[in-house]
Structure 1
Amino acid sequence: MAADTKVTSTGAHGGDLEDPTQRRSSVVVDKNLASEEDAAVLAKMGYKQELRRNFSMIEVFGIAFAIMGLLPSIASTLSFSIPAGPVGLVWGWFLASGFIFVVGLAMADLGSSMPTSGGLYYWTHYYRLSIQLYYASPKWRNMLSFLVGYSNTLGLVGGLCSIDYGFALQFLSIIVISRDGNWTPSNGEVYATFLATIVCHGVIASTAAQVMGKLQTVFVVMNFVLIFATIIALPIGANSRNSASYIFTHVENLTTWPSGWAFMLSWLSPIWTIGGFDSAVHTSEEAANAVKAVPLGILFSIGSCWLFGWICCIVIAACMSQDLEHILGSPFGQPMAQIYYDALGKNGAMGFMALLMIVQFLMGISILVAASRQSWAFSRDGALPFSKFFRPISKRFGYIPVRTTIGCAALAAILGLLCLIAPAAASALFSLAVAGNNLAWGTPILCRVVWGQKKFSPGPFYTGKASTFIAYLAVTFLVFGTLLAMFPVGGPNPDADSMNYTCVINSAIWGGALLYYYIDARKWFKGPQITIDVAELTEEQEAALREEGLNVEERDGKAVIGGGSGNVSRAADEST
């Protein structure tokens, strides 16, 4: 028979702890992994330092900016903005980017307060805790944390799919240009290119850990080389340039939606493009001085894309043909390829598409790193299937989660099979990243202001009295963006080829996650697990847990955050 026993303030390996007044004030940390300050911040959240902090503040910005891959992403999403004409391209970018910056501000508040790789689902669980003290049952925090974790994980993998799918199309467009439009790749050829790209990214992300931070700086430089080359070359090469009136005031509507809604749909281009800023959160356990690096990485990456993306959109609107249907129906399969071709000729188009393709390839490496860290954090807390398999850190490859890196690449390859069905199904990969991440971003922001604002402990970065308004505005925009991503782009009466399948895919993901939780996971998923030795909890950490009304319980050999006792304790099953 088994009996549950609790020994208050007991060590992780049994036996009484020393008197709390004798408790150490800092956490022991391998100096090869992190500084004491960074390890202490992580320990306050219950985690020991396991990853090496290879990323400087500029490199945290770099990975977020590299994932956004500004110009390649604009090129991949011109089909959303061009149907509304230059006004949709230029002003759609400017307005939507401003709202995305508001989301970044709300996330920066949280990222500075609690920089952990699990970030979004960890924050959701933490801020729902106050419900048990003031509002509803604490059972909801586990469910919401579980849902956010899966939505964020699959959203990031969906982002990898869409980036690599875009790369495959850009790569093949160069071949089409070289053959003067007399060849069209099949769905199978697109998928084969996509699959080869996924494999390359898996290998690079798994083996280049020690230089991954520095590679982000290279990726940022490559992005800016492409941006400045484009905004210089297009105006010089174009036979004629459009007037300012055309650029900033001309409205088109190549959809069957009302013109106003066609303009709103143009927002999907910046919404999809500026979508990798949470990567700064997922690399926070590899960032030096994470409490500052994470929020600044989020805001500088969004701000840079807002500014330079707007400049790029203005230049494109100034130099593109006014025959927008010709651009969208380009035989090269890419509107940007047609714009380069019209302005720079065949060789110029091939050269710029090659550079565009290289930067798009680099985006895939960065987002795979972010996705693997989120997945690893989720497996650390036991939430993923086969978590014990994915949980280990590889010292051989530089203290990184190699297994989750390969796992994310394999999952992306499976999801990419949508490429074989039809372009409409493949385009759902774009919206999967938008809708999945929007839910994951919005939930912890909402939980903080609704249930946890009075208990919020700001980090070095904080928006102060404006934080509540910013948070509500951010959540409102994220809900709107999610709904927007589910609309058929062409019009209200889509056929099978023009249907937007995002609602189907995301409903399956969210519904599946909730079904999995209620059928099985609710029995064992208790939220974030503490990985530091309970004996190493400082007096301050124990006090913080007691203030939350929590305890530390060992279940099946693992320490987890429990609730309701107001004590810091260790629960164990003893067989007799």
Structure 2
Amino acid sequence: MSPKSPSETAGDSESQPERRTSLLVDPTLASEEDAAVLAKMGYKQELRRNFSMIEVFGIAFAIMGLLPSIASTLSYSIPAGPVGLVWGWFLASACIFVVGLAMADLGSSMPTSGGLYYWTHYYASPKWRNPLSFLVGYSNTLGLVGGLCSIDYGFSLMFLSIIVISRDGNWSPSNGVIYATFLATVACHGLIASTMARIMGKMQTVFVAMNFILIFATIIALPIGANHRNSASYIFTHVENLTTWPTGWGFMLAWLSPIWTIGGFDSAVHISEEAANATRAVPFGILFSIGSCWLFGWICCIVIAACMSQDLDHLLSSPFGQPMAQIYYDALGKNGAMGFMALLMIVQFLMGISILVAASRQSWAFSRDGALPFSKFFRPISKRFGYIPLRTTIGCAVLAAVLGLLCLIAPAAASALFSLAVAGNNLAWGTPIFCRLVWGQKKFSPGPIYTGKRASTPIAWAAIVFLIFGILLSMFPVGGPNPDAESMNYTCVINSAVWGGALLYYFIDARKWFRGPQITLDLNQLTEEQAAALRAEGLKEEGANGTAVLGSGVDGRDSVEQKS
């Protein structure tokens, strides 16, 4: 029997009911406008849209956790001296903002939880869309889980550093103690993200407030408490090189701090199916979170450079295990350091909740399209816990606990968790932007937030160049060439395993069944106009079980096809 399009089957009164005049949507989940935007991409509304525009910004900004992230990554920037700390932050943040502009164009156009791999599949050529989409989905999923690992590992070090400070540096935690603290942290995050979904949007506002309280408290207290403040010449022009790399490359490695810190802006994309007015909220969340971190992070770096000891080796080899703890201790004394490290620790803990939410939504979207192992198990939405993907939330926490076993190997292996988030997400961000430029420029339909026809393309190419540079940068040993086992950067090993494993899985098995994004809508609920929009988006339904894919019709043009 020949395939019929939705418009054809709509007229067949015996085989299908009459097409409805409007898209059916539960008003407690979303407005009809938001549901219609999602329907255009083939998905029905299943999550509750309880995130406002400010709260979408909040989850992205909360994941970045500005000052705790700077504190966790000072070991990357301090070796280059104040110039690496201050100007490295400013220049890298500017480049990241360019990436945000390119992603905002895509996010405003097609806001969906699985945005990165969905966009890749939509814009790529028919030959490459499936493997590239599969690779991006896994890279993004594991990159986000890697981000959870690195955040919770950083929290564990901060928590234990308070104990070290209280004992005046006369105690040092073992790798086993660090992992046990990490494991307890991941378990707490899994519990909170699973049971507090109904107020998760409101919680992001609290998280943002906590971040700004910590930022302003630090930039006020450090200059007041410091016995000696460095000159402007030292802050803005003094160069150091505590690595064995050339000085210029040592400066570039300082960029790893802002690259890792300002790495949660794609969470605005993953939360898009829970955001009201998503076509505006998503780009707003991306750009304002990056811009806020760019400005306030630069101010924090200037204050730190002004108040820190000029003996940089003293900071890097601090018995407290964290350069920031030593900076607080030198300026504010024991009690002041413990107080600020406790506040840092709390904000770092809140970061973990937010990134677990984002990781679970990406994982759920990927399982919705059948790409994850045990997708049918992870696919259901829990109405009891507030219309959230409960199983992927718990699954991401369990995976983070397993990846965190690297803590038991060595600090160098644990630090690879930081770079896993950088390299994995950079690949996931850059691929859809590249696909849009090379294959899908004619298919691109701007949303209400758009950088403009003339600026959009050069911005996108600039973003790709920087993302490739970021991947390469994250794989260099930060101490210098010829590393030993302890100073080796294992990112190349871990990411090669992630990317190589994903492609191997695809070509051995997944190519037989993975067809990209699947329609979850009941086509009988669409109007003729909505069905035409689906055809224009390149979606087609295959089989009687309701599965569907993004692909090309017989004549090479994308279409929606229903097969009897």
What is the TM-score normalised by the length of structure 2? 0.97
Give runs of aligned pairs for residues 89-488 of structure 1, distance below 5 A: 89-128=85-124, 131=125, 138-464=126-452, 465-488=454-477
Deviation for aligned residue 1:571 = 2.1
TM-superposition CA deviations, 1:5-42 (whole Å, max 9, x none): 6344337x9954578xxx54531100000000000000
Cα 1:392–1:14 shift into 2, 3 Å: farther
TM-superposition CA deviations, 1:259-284 (whole Å, max 9, x none): 00000000000000000000000000
Aligned-partner Cα distance in 1 for 2:210–2:13: 54
Aligned-partner Cα distance in 2 for 1:442–1:568: 28
Q: What is the total number of aligned residue pairs between the two structures?
A: 558
Letter paired with 1:52: R
Aligned-partner Cα distance in 1 for 2:340–2:13: 64
Deviation for aligned residue 1:507 = 0.3
Structure 1 contact 59–213 (Cα < 8 Å) conserved: yes
SS of alignment partner, residue 530 of structure 1: coil
Letter paired with 1:216: Q
Aligned-partner Cα distance in 1 for 2:4–2:445: 30
1:74 maps to what in 2?
Answer: 70
What percentage of residue pairs aligned between the two structures are identical? 84
2:520 maps to what in 1?
Answer: 531
Structure 1: segments with no counterpart, 5+ residues: 132-137
Deviation for aligned residue 1:494 = 0.4
2:510 maps to what in 1?
Answer: 521
SS of alignment partner, residue 254 of structure 1: coil
Deviation for aligned residue 1:452 = 1.1
Letter paired with 1:287: A
TM-superposition CA deviations, 1:162-201 (whole Å, max 9, x none): 0000000000000000000000000000000000000000
Aligned-partner Cα distance in 2 for 1:85–1:353: 23
Deviation for aligned residue 1:550 = 5.0
Letter paired with 2:525: E
TM-superposition CA deviations, 1:319-355 (whole Å, max 9, x none): 0000000000000000000000000000000000000
Structural RMSD (CA):
1.6
Deviation for aligned residue 1:311 = 0.1
1:506 maps to what in 2?
Answer: 495
SS of alignment partner, residue 543 of structure 2: strand
TM-superposition CA deviations, 1:41-71 (whole Å, max 9, x none): 0000000000000100000000000000000
Aligned-partner Cα distance in 1 for 2:533–2:369: 20
Aligned-partner Cα distance in 1 for 2:225–2:374: 55
Structure 2 contact 539–549 (Cα < 8 Å) conserved: no
Letter paired with 1:89: L
1:6 maps to what in 2?
Answer: 3
Structure 1 contact 159–432 (Cα < 8 Å) conserved: yes
Deviation for aligned residue 1:451 = 1.2
Q: Which moved more, 1:444-453 or 1:183-192?
A: 444-453
Aligned-partner Cα distance in 2 for 1:18–1:372: 36
Deviation for aligned residue 1:555 = 6.1
2:553 maps to what in 1?
Answer: 564
Structure 2 contact 189–356 (Cα < 8 Å) conserved: yes
Structure 1 contact 26–40 (Cα < 8 Å) conserved: no
Q: Which moved more, 1:97-106 or 1:533-542?
A: 533-542
Aligned-partner Cα distance in 2 for 1:429–1:158: 6
Aligned-partner Cα distance in 2 for 1:436–1:538: 40
Aligned-partner Cα distance in 2 for 1:385–1:41: 29
Cα 1:25–1:120 shift into 2, 3 Å: farther
Letter paired with 1:400: I
Aligned-partner Cα distance in 1 for 2:532–2:4: 17
2:43 aligned with 1:47, yes or no? yes
Cα 1:272–1:49 shift into 2, 3 Å: same
2:530 maps to what in 1?
Answer: 541
SS of alignment partner, residue 29 of structure 1: coil
